[in-house]
Amino acid sequence: MMQITVNNGIVHKITDCPLTLEDMQRIKMASLSPVSNGYIDFIRDGRNVIGWTEKYNPSPVHQKGTAELFQLFCTHNAYLSWHGWVDLDPNPRNFFVDTNQTCDKGGLIPIKDMDITMICKFFVGMALYYPTSLIEKTMYLLAPALNTRDAKLISKAFTLTREKLNGCTDDLPDI
Protein backbone atom coordinates (compact mmCIF):
# COMPACT_ATOMS: atom_id res chain seq x y z
CA MET A 1 0.00 0.00 0.00
CA MET A 2 1.15 3.53 -0.67
CA GLN A 3 0.21 6.89 0.82
CA ILE A 4 0.09 9.68 -1.73
CA THR A 5 -0.08 13.32 -0.68
CA VAL A 6 0.33 16.58 -2.60
CA ASN A 7 1.99 19.62 -1.07
CA ASN A 8 3.12 22.77 -2.92
CA GLY A 9 3.09 21.12 -6.35
CA ILE A 10 5.02 18.05 -5.17
CA VAL A 11 3.63 14.51 -4.88
CA HIS A 12 4.92 12.51 -1.93
CA LYS A 13 4.65 8.75 -2.42
CA ILE A 14 5.30 6.88 0.83
CA THR A 15 5.33 3.10 1.05
CA ASP A 16 4.35 0.90 3.99
CA CYS A 17 7.80 -0.66 4.21
CA PRO A 18 11.29 0.60 3.42
CA LEU A 19 12.40 0.51 -0.19
CA THR A 20 15.04 -2.01 -1.19
CA LEU A 21 18.03 -1.15 -3.34
CA GLU A 22 16.21 -2.74 -6.31
CA ASP A 23 13.13 -0.58 -5.59
CA MET A 24 15.29 2.54 -5.67
CA GLN A 25 16.96 1.41 -8.90
CA ARG A 26 13.53 0.73 -10.43
CA ILE A 27 12.24 4.18 -9.49
CA LYS A 28 15.36 5.92 -10.80
CA MET A 29 15.30 3.94 -14.06
CA ALA A 30 11.58 4.61 -14.61
CA SER A 31 12.12 8.30 -13.98
CA LEU A 32 14.81 8.46 -16.69
CA SER A 33 12.45 7.23 -19.40
CA PRO A 34 11.86 9.88 -22.09
CA VAL A 35 8.10 9.73 -21.36
CA SER A 36 8.33 9.78 -17.54
CA ASN A 37 7.33 12.65 -15.28
CA GLY A 38 10.62 11.97 -13.45
CA TYR A 39 11.26 12.02 -9.74
CA ILE A 40 12.74 14.65 -7.46
CA ASP A 41 14.22 12.81 -4.50
CA PHE A 42 13.82 9.89 -2.16
CA ILE A 43 12.07 10.32 1.19
CA ARG A 44 14.01 9.06 4.20
CA ASP A 45 12.97 8.12 7.70
CA GLY A 46 16.26 7.87 9.54
CA ARG A 47 18.37 5.37 7.58
CA ASN A 48 15.41 3.91 5.67
CA VAL A 49 14.17 5.12 2.30
CA ILE A 50 10.39 5.02 2.55
CA GLY A 51 9.27 6.77 -0.63
CA TRP A 52 9.98 9.41 -3.25
CA THR A 53 8.74 12.75 -4.56
CA GLU A 54 7.60 13.80 -8.03
CA LYS A 55 6.22 16.95 -9.64
CA TYR A 56 2.45 17.14 -9.28
CA ASN A 57 0.39 17.06 -12.46
CA PRO A 58 -3.30 17.86 -11.90
CA SER A 59 -4.18 16.52 -15.35
CA PRO A 60 -6.54 13.58 -15.62
CA VAL A 61 -5.13 10.27 -16.83
CA HIS A 62 -6.05 8.38 -19.99
CA GLN A 63 -8.95 5.98 -19.61
CA LYS A 64 -8.73 4.13 -22.92
CA GLY A 65 -5.76 2.77 -24.83
CA THR A 66 -5.08 4.03 -28.36
CA ALA A 67 -2.40 3.37 -30.95
CA GLU A 68 -0.85 6.76 -30.13
CA LEU A 69 -0.73 5.96 -26.42
CA PHE A 70 0.74 2.52 -27.12
CA GLN A 71 3.48 4.23 -29.13
CA LEU A 72 4.43 6.15 -25.98
CA PHE A 73 4.43 2.89 -24.04
CA CYS A 74 6.73 1.43 -26.72
CA THR A 75 9.07 4.44 -26.45
CA HIS A 76 9.12 3.94 -22.69
CA ASN A 77 9.95 0.24 -23.02
CA ALA A 78 12.48 0.64 -25.82
CA TYR A 79 14.46 2.91 -23.48
CA LEU A 80 13.99 0.76 -20.38
CA SER A 81 14.82 -2.53 -22.06
CA TRP A 82 18.01 -1.11 -23.52
CA HIS A 83 19.04 -0.71 -19.87
CA GLY A 84 17.88 -4.17 -18.77
CA TRP A 85 14.42 -3.29 -17.45
CA VAL A 86 10.89 -3.64 -18.78
CA ASP A 87 7.51 -2.22 -17.80
CA LEU A 88 4.80 -4.83 -18.32
CA ASP A 89 1.90 -2.68 -17.10
CA PRO A 90 0.17 -1.30 -20.25
CA ASN A 91 -2.60 0.45 -18.30
CA PRO A 92 -3.44 3.76 -20.04
CA ARG A 93 -4.20 5.26 -16.60
CA ASN A 94 -0.44 5.44 -16.08
CA PHE A 95 -0.29 8.34 -18.57
CA PHE A 96 -1.43 11.95 -18.05
CA VAL A 97 -3.76 13.35 -20.72
CA ASP A 98 -2.17 16.80 -21.09
CA THR A 99 1.49 15.76 -21.24
CA ASN A 100 1.29 12.06 -22.20
CA GLN A 101 3.94 11.43 -19.55
CA THR A 102 3.85 8.28 -17.45
CA CYS A 103 3.65 8.60 -13.70
CA ASP A 104 3.96 4.87 -12.97
CA LYS A 105 7.20 3.58 -11.52
CA GLY A 106 5.89 0.43 -9.86
CA GLY A 107 5.60 -1.93 -12.81
CA LEU A 108 9.25 -2.14 -13.79
CA ILE A 109 11.14 -5.38 -13.42
CA PRO A 110 14.63 -6.44 -14.43
CA ILE A 111 14.42 -8.37 -17.71
CA LYS A 112 16.44 -11.18 -16.14
CA ASP A 113 13.61 -11.72 -13.59
CA MET A 114 10.80 -11.76 -16.17
CA ASP A 115 8.94 -15.05 -16.55
CA ILE A 116 6.29 -16.40 -18.92
CA THR A 117 3.48 -15.62 -16.45
CA MET A 118 4.47 -11.93 -16.45
CA ILE A 119 4.58 -11.88 -20.25
CA CYS A 120 1.10 -13.46 -20.42
CA LYS A 121 -0.25 -10.92 -17.91
CA PHE A 122 1.16 -8.15 -20.13
CA PHE A 123 -0.91 -9.34 -23.09
CA VAL A 124 -3.97 -9.85 -20.87
CA GLY A 125 -3.50 -6.24 -19.72
CA MET A 126 -3.32 -5.13 -23.34
CA ALA A 127 -6.59 -6.98 -24.02
CA LEU A 128 -8.24 -5.06 -21.19
CA TYR A 129 -7.21 -1.60 -22.38
CA TYR A 130 -6.41 -1.63 -26.11
CA PRO A 131 -8.30 -2.51 -29.31
CA THR A 132 -8.01 -6.14 -30.41
CA SER A 133 -6.58 -4.99 -33.74
CA LEU A 134 -3.65 -3.35 -31.92
CA ILE A 135 -2.88 -6.54 -30.01
CA GLU A 136 -3.09 -8.65 -33.17
CA LYS A 137 -0.72 -6.33 -34.99
CA THR A 138 1.88 -6.04 -32.24
CA MET A 139 1.91 -9.42 -30.56
CA TYR A 140 3.95 -11.21 -33.21
CA LEU A 141 6.84 -8.76 -32.73
CA LEU A 142 6.66 -8.34 -28.97
CA ALA A 143 5.87 -11.85 -27.70
CA PRO A 144 8.91 -13.62 -29.22
CA ALA A 145 11.25 -10.79 -28.20
CA LEU A 146 9.98 -10.76 -24.61
CA ASN A 147 10.29 -14.53 -24.47
CA THR A 148 14.03 -14.35 -25.33
CA ARG A 149 14.71 -12.12 -22.30
CA ASP A 150 17.36 -10.46 -24.45
CA ALA A 151 17.40 -6.73 -23.63
CA LYS A 152 18.60 -5.61 -27.06
CA LEU A 153 16.01 -7.72 -28.94
CA ILE A 154 13.24 -6.48 -26.67
CA SER A 155 14.31 -2.87 -27.19
CA LYS A 156 14.40 -3.40 -30.95
CA ALA A 157 10.92 -5.03 -30.93
CA PHE A 158 9.40 -2.10 -29.03
CA THR A 159 11.18 0.36 -31.34
CA LEU A 160 9.93 -1.42 -34.48
CA THR A 161 6.41 -1.62 -33.06
CA ARG A 162 6.45 2.12 -32.29
CA GLU A 163 7.71 2.95 -35.78
CA LYS A 164 5.09 0.75 -37.44
CA LEU A 165 2.34 2.47 -35.47
CA ASN A 166 3.62 5.98 -36.27
CA GLY A 167 0.74 8.21 -37.30
CA CYS A 168 -1.91 5.55 -36.70
CA THR A 169 -5.27 6.19 -35.20
CA ASP A 170 -7.97 3.53 -35.08
CA ASP A 171 -7.17 2.25 -38.58
CA LEU A 172 -4.09 0.20 -37.77
CA PRO A 173 -1.70 -0.87 -40.53
CA ASP A 174 -0.35 -4.35 -40.93
CA ILE A 175 2.98 -4.66 -39.18
Instruction: Tell me which DSSP letter residue 66 carries.
Output: -
Q: Dump pLDDT digits (tens) for 53-91.
A: 998 888 899 999 998 999 999 999 999 999 999 999 999
Q: Dump pLDDT digits (tens) for 101-143.
A: 998 888 899 999 999 999 999 999 999 999 988 888 888 899 9
Q: Are residues 40 and 105 in the same domain?
A: no
Decide if 7 is inside a domain: yes
The tally of domains found in the chain comes to 2
CA-CA distance, 21 to 32, in Å (whole number)? 17
Decide if 61 is inside a domain: no
Q: Are residues 75 and 149 in the same domain?
A: yes
Parent domain of 9: 2-55
Q: Are residues 78 and 156 in the same domain?
A: yes
Decide if 18 is inside a domain: yes
Radius of gyration of the chain (CA): 16
pTM: 0.89
For 8, residues 6+ apart whose C-beta sits below 8 A from its C-beta are none
For 89, residues 6+ apart whose C-beta sits below 8 A from its C-beta are 104, 106, 107, 122, 125
